[in-house]
Each structure stands twice: as C-alpha cells, then as structure tokens.
Structure 1
Amino acid sequence: MKKVLIVFGTRPEAIKMAPVVHGFRDQPDFFDIRICVTAQHREMLDQVLDFFNVHPDYDLNLMKPGQNLNQLTAAVILAMEPVLKDFRPDLLFVHGDTTTSAICALAGYYAGVTVCHVEAGLRTRDIYSPFPEELNRQLTARIASLHFAPTAHARDNLLSEGVCRDHIYITGNTIIDALHYATGKIESQAFPEIRHIKSYVDTEVPVILVTCHRRENFGAGLDAICSALKRVAENYDVKLIYPVHPNPNVNGIVRERLSGTENIYLLDPINYPAFVWLMKICKFIITDSGGIQEEANALGKQVLLLRSNTERPEVLGAGGVQIVGADEDAIVKSAEDLLRKPLKTSSDASPYGMGRAAADIVSITRGKYV
C-alpha cells in the first residue's frame, strides 16, 4: 500500500483536487491517503471543502491579513516539514500553479518524496504573467516525477523543456470532473444562495458574470476594468453580477467605483454551486481567471479575458475566449459585440476531456507505483 499526501491551499485548487481525493479514497486497498490544506485562502477554501465533502487531516491555517509572497513562501515550507515527517508519504500530489503547490513540491523534494503534478504543462513563457503563477508551474515541473497534463499542448510544453515523455500522461482536466459533480448536485438539491440570487436576477435580461483578482490587474488595470464595466452597465439593459474577491487591493476599488451603478450587483464571494449556476445562466463571462476559461468552455460560454495572454490556448482555438486585457475600450467593444451578436460555442467537445481525469490519474498512479 502506498501512502499518498494531497496538498492544496486555494479555492480553485480545492475544486480541482476534490475529484482526485475521492478517486484515491475509492481505492483503500491500494492507497493510504491524507489531505493537507495550507489555507492560502480560508473562507473561500472552506466553502469548497464542505461542498465536496473533503475533510483535511492537516490544516496549516497559514492565511494572515496582509501576508505577502515572501511571508507565505516561508510559512508554507516551514509548516510542511512536520507534516512530511509525521506521515512520511511515498507520493505527494500538488496542483497547478499556486505558491502552495510550488513550495510544497519543494518541501517534498527536500524530504525525498516523489512529487506528482496535476494540471502540469500550462505555459505562457512570461514569468511575470500571470505572476507568480507562471514561475510556480515551471518550478514545479522541474521537481515533479509524474506529470498529469490536461491536453496534448500541455504535454508538448513539458517535452520542449526536457521532461521525459514516459513521465507525462494526458488525462484531461479535473475541473470537468468537478463541474459534472456540481451540476448534478444543483439539479437535484436546493441551495439557499442560488434561491437568493434568483430573487433579483431576471434572466429575461442578459446576465454578465464578472470576476477579477490577479495581481497584474491591481491599480491602474483594475481602475480601467471598472470604467469599462460601468460603461457597459449604463449603456445596455443588462445585469452585471460581480462576486468581489476579498483581497483589499480589489475589494476597496471595485466597491468604490461600481457600488452606485443600479444594474451592477457586487456580491461577497459566493459558494461553488452558486457560481456554477451563474455560469450556466449568464450570457457571457468577463474574467482574469484561469480555471473559469476551462469551465466556461465546457458550458458553452464566451469569455472576455482580462489578461494579456493565456496558458490555455486550447480555448482560443475553440473560439471561446477573447483576450481583451485591461483595455477599457477593448472590453467595452467586445462586450457590445457579444450582446449584439453572441458567438456560439459547443459544450460537447471540451479540450479538457469528458470528466474522467481523476479516475485516470488514480489508475495511472496505481499502475506505476503499486
């Protein structure tokens, strides 16, 4: 039996790793599994853990007000040492591109643990965009022994960096697994937060869903984005639904600039089922998120991407994402185009698979190590 430690710290990681957790738990004869959360996000993480019925064995609770990257990095590597000494895992699973993932991978390397990277191989090739995520995933790739790439393009990125082909597996993305799970629960259960949003969201009027949280948009970029959203809201009969990230670099500016606009609804962070429901009913999405590009594509929704590049070119090829950056006029023009003549995408052929990524990850791990 192999001892497996799965580590994550943010809400997006938790969403994408929850199917992997359940996949390993379904094979108790082969794997002894423990879950560790750094709580790089706290309340936003806890919502997802509850929804997916994931209960951490180790909760490092590292989130602190005003914590910078230096402080978080030091806190993660110091807190991981006793966890690794206590459980002594054979395999350490990390996800994607967060500081939690990169530094936990490094801690695993120091402890002599085999590191396995879920959602491996995404690249922009610009280590400052997105910051610090692009460097995090490149660092993790140098440490990992097993790479679960969501697509052939991600695999090719790894091959171009000298990663051995025998260590790379194309599995699709676990976000599709999580999305299937969430949509199933939304259809079969009642969620109070969805019922509350329905009380003021008239779907006869086009709904635009907005998120924005990346560091590269702090300051002037976010100011331009707010100006664009205000123009769209004032010029069209739409409803903009914006769950505002709690980061003070985002929350204060957004609420100051947009709270007086009648058809813009600024929400506190909402739970995952409510967010999935909003993605399903909206006309299109304006975001700087990575994972939302994947989810929106699977749901057949257009995205205006508030970034200068994307590590997910598959969705550009599928016609689902337009890069508009933090350019006020570009955002407004693209939003107007979608409102007048929305582009069509299909949710039938997601480049990220059909929702079996976690099962494949567990099966591959068992074949290699058990």
Structure 2
Amino acid sequence: MKRRKIVCVVVGTRPEAIKMAPIALALKHDETFQLHLLATGQHAEMLLNPLAFFDLVPDDYLGIMKERQSLDHVTATVITGVGDVLDRLRPSLVLVHGDTTSTLSATLAAFYRKIPVGHVEAGLRSRDLQSPFPEEMNRLLTDRLATYWFAPTPLARENLLREDCDAERIWVTGNTVIDALRVAVSRVDEPSLAELRRIPATCRLVLVTAHRRESWGKGLREICTAIRHLTEKIPELWFLVPMHRNPEVRSVFMEELGAFDRVALCEPLEYPDFVWAMKRSTLILSDSGGIQEEAPFLKKPVLVLREVTERPEAVLEGTALLVGTESSRIVRESVRLLTNPQEYAKLVEKRRNPFGDGNASERILEALKKSLTTISRHSEPRRNR
C-alpha cells in the first residue's frame, strides 16, 4: 500500500477555520492524503468553535493569542511555532488560506524549509496596500511564495496570470465558504443564544459586522451614527451587532450604541448562530470579505462598509454595494433598499452567485491528486517561463 502524502492544513482565525473545514474533511476521508490540521490560535475559541461544528480537532494547537496582540507578535510566534511543527512533520505540502497574518507567517515557515505551499482563495486584489490592512500585503506575499494557487473566481485567476504565476498550477475552484455554508444551512434552524431569541419575530433585522483596522476610530463612529439615524427613520428596524473581541472595536460600539433598545450588542457569534443571523436578516452591513461571498447564496443584500473590495465580483454581479463608512451614505442606501421593494429585489432576485456552487473543496482535492507527481519537498515556487 502506498504511503499517504502528509498535507498540513494551517488555520489561524475563525474565517479560515470555516473556509478550510470542507477541505480538511475532504483530505481526512481520502486515501491519497494524510491530514494534519494545525491551528495557530491567532483567534482562540473563535477558531476552535467552528472546527468543532465540522467535527474537526486540531492535531497541533499553538495557542498564540494574547490580549492586545500586535502584528509583530502574531508574525514571529506563528513562524516559529509552525516551523517547529513542520520540522517534526516533514509534510509533502502546506495548505494555507486567504490573507491573515497566520497565512503569511505559515507560508514563510514552509518556504524557509522548501516545502511547497498551496494557497486557497488565491488571487484576490484590492490594489491598495492600506485597505484592507495588512491583508492586501499578506495575500500578495503569500501568492508570491506559493507553488499552487486555488483561485475562487476567473477574475482572481486573471490577477495571478497578470503577476506571471504558472497557468498550469492555477485552478479556478469557487470559494470553499459556500461549501461550508451549504452544510451549515441544512443544520441550523434556531439560534442557541438567548439574546438572539429575544429579537422580536415580527421585526426587520439588520446584521452589522465591522472590525477592519482601517475603520478604527472615525470610521466605526460613523457606522454607529448611521445605525442611530436608521433606528429613528424606520421604527420597526432592529440591529444585531456581534462585537469583535478587539478592545479598539468593542469599546466604540458599547459607547455609541449601548443605550439603544433596538440595537442588540453581543459577543462574537458561534458559526451556527451567525448563519442563523444571516438567514434571519433583511439587510447586512459589513466590512467582512466572507459575508460578501456568503450573502448571495442566502439571497441577502450587503452594503459593504469599505472604500474598496478585493471581491469586486459581488459588486459587478449586483449582489453588494460599496458604501464606505460615511454615515450619510450608509443611511441613504439603507433607506432606499428598506423602503423600496423594487430596489431591494434588484440585489437579491435572479442573481448568480459569483463565488461558486459549493463544490470547491472537491475541485481542490482533485487538483492535488493530479499534481502528486510534482509535489516534492524541493518544488520551485513558480513563474511562467
């Protein structure tokens, strides 16, 4: 019997856990590969909870998170911690996801050991190193060092080709977040959190998530101002605001919105409750990249609280609108959608989901199988010749 090739799947944050879970499960149940799931703990329980939802337990957990952790701390501890695991494990391939500091740091640790890297959700570009920060730099450098690129959309593939990545090692797969969401939607009917059950069944609900570093300070306060104005303009409207654990974010929300009856501030939601919240909402205001991908699947319109997005497919397809963080624009666009059924319908009806059909993880698995002969510990990272 052939020895299975070890694939080390690295996750550091909650979105990574959700998006890599379908791939980890596919590898776990395949006879070609041996899965080794490595969690850095850039997020702590926020990382472990979604893994548990998919019945996954890390083989290694670095637990690097600390209060008010800096990017320096995350980068240094992940490189060292992942490097120690790779020295012990000697995998055939390291799989990373997206654009977090854990992603770039794990990629560097693998590169230093000449271990090939596969980048899931490769090729996304905002073309602004400051937005999102530091994610745009993280994804650029990760793609520069990767050996295999799993692009979620044709546009992401075009970005990679423009940067001279080897066309034979790029696969357009769709986004694995849709794979995860298909599973979650079939399992989630009711929320588990008491705060969610207290939201009136007859109200219209707006889900709000905001945490990007470029919005800290004035941007977050503008978002809060918009929420206050909307509660005045539309009396039956409720807001659900799961607060990021970063003190820079949650202190603003608590100060600006803590006294408003129809604004439910809560801790970060576990994945099943968050899926319920997306399903229950009428409108989503968010600076999250993942929500831009998930909302079209759920037929929910999104106002993107950013000036630029690395997921322009949502805007081009008409499932999302870029509104930035200026309160007047957020209010104007929200009122337009919430008071005009025709305008609302334009964002949700007969729209194609540009982020895939929910079979991305299967395509990635098949691509890895076809590439077995080229996966070696001394693979060159790249480039068209």
CA distance in 1, matches of 2:104, 2:196: 39
Q: How far did residue 349 of structure 1 move?
A: 2.8
**Is the counterpart of residue 350 in structure 1 residue 353 in structure 2?**
yes
Task: State the percentage of identical aligned residues.
Answer: 42
Deviation per residue, 1:163-186 (Å, 9 max, x gap): 111110000000000000101111
State the match for 1:214 in structure 2: 212
Alignment of 1:254 onto 2:257 = no
Q: Give the structure 2 partner of residue 162 of structure 1.
A: 164
* 1:46 Cα offset (Å): 1.8
1:325-336 correspondence runs (5 A):
325-336=324-335
Q: Unaligned stretches of 5+ in structure 1?
A: none
Measured at CA, do residues 92 and 270 of structure 1 come closer, stay the same or move farther in structure 2, by a change above 3 Å? Answer: same
Q: 1:17 to 1:329 in 2, by over 3 A?
A: same
Q: Residue 296 of structure 2 contacts residue 351 of structure 2 at CA under 8 Å; is this kept in 1?
A: no
Unaligned regions of 5+ residues in structure 2, if any? 374-385
Partner SS for 2:198: coil
State the shift of 1:191 in Å.
5.2
Determine if the alignment matches structure 1 residue 363 to structure 2 residue 366: yes
Q: Which residue of 2 aligns with 1:46?
A: 48
Contact 1:14 1:49 in 2 (8 A): yes
1:223-277 C-alpha deviation (Å, 9 max, x unpaired): 1111111111122120001111110000111001101011100011111111111
Indicate how the Cα distance of structure 1 residues 346 and 231 shifts in structure 2: closer, same or farther if over 3 A, else same.
same
Partner of 2:185: 183
Match of 1:224 in 2: 222
Q: 1:145 & 1:285 partners in 2: Cα distance? A: 36
SS at match of 2:260: coil
Q: How does 1:231-250 map to 2 (within 5 A)?
A: 231-237=229-235, 238-250=237-249
Q: How does 1:265-284 map to 2 (within 5 A)?
A: 265-284=264-283
* Superimposed CA distance per residue, residues 91-126 of structure 1 (whole angstroms, 9 cap, x where no aligned partner): 000000000001101110101101000000000111
User: Does the 8 A contact of 1:147 with 1:169 survive in 2?
Assistant: yes
Distance in 1 between residues matched to 2:216 and 2:280, nearest whole Å? 29
**Poorly superposed stretches of 4+, deviation over 4 Å:** none
Measure, in 2, the Cα distance between the counterparts of 1:165 and 1:3: 25
TM superposition shift of 1:319 = 1.1
Per the TM alignment, residue 348 of structure 1 is displaced from its structure 2 partner at its CA by 6.6
In structure 2, C-alpha distance between the alignment counterparts of 1:81 and 1:198, rounded to whole Å: 41
- Letter matched to residue 208 of structure 1: V
Cα displacement string for residues 24-43 of structure 1 (whole angstroms, at most 9, x for unaligned residues) = 0110x211110000110112
Give the alignment's TM-score, normalised by structure 1: 0.96
Q: Which of 72, 75, 88 is the equivalent residue of 1:73? A: 75
Equivalent residue letter for 1:361: I
Q: Which amino acid aligns with 1:165?
A: A
**Residue 192 (structure 1) aligns with:** 192
Letter in 1 for 2:133: F
Q: Distance in 2 between matches of 1:324 and 1:349?
A: 21
Task: Tell me: CA distance 1:119–1:346, structure 2 relative to 1, closer, same or farther (3 Å).
Answer: farther
Provide the aligned length of Structure 1 versus Structure 2: 365
3-state SS of paired residue (1:83): helix
Q: For residue 298 of structure 1, what is the aligned residue in structure 2?
A: 297
Moved more, 150-159 or 40-49: 40-49
Instruction: Give the SS at the match of 1:64.
Output: coil
Deviation at 1:66, TM superposition (A): 1.2
Q: 1:358 to 1:284 in 2, by over 3 A?
A: same
2:296–2:319: 8 Å Cα contact kept in structure 1? yes
TM (normalized to structure 2)?
0.92
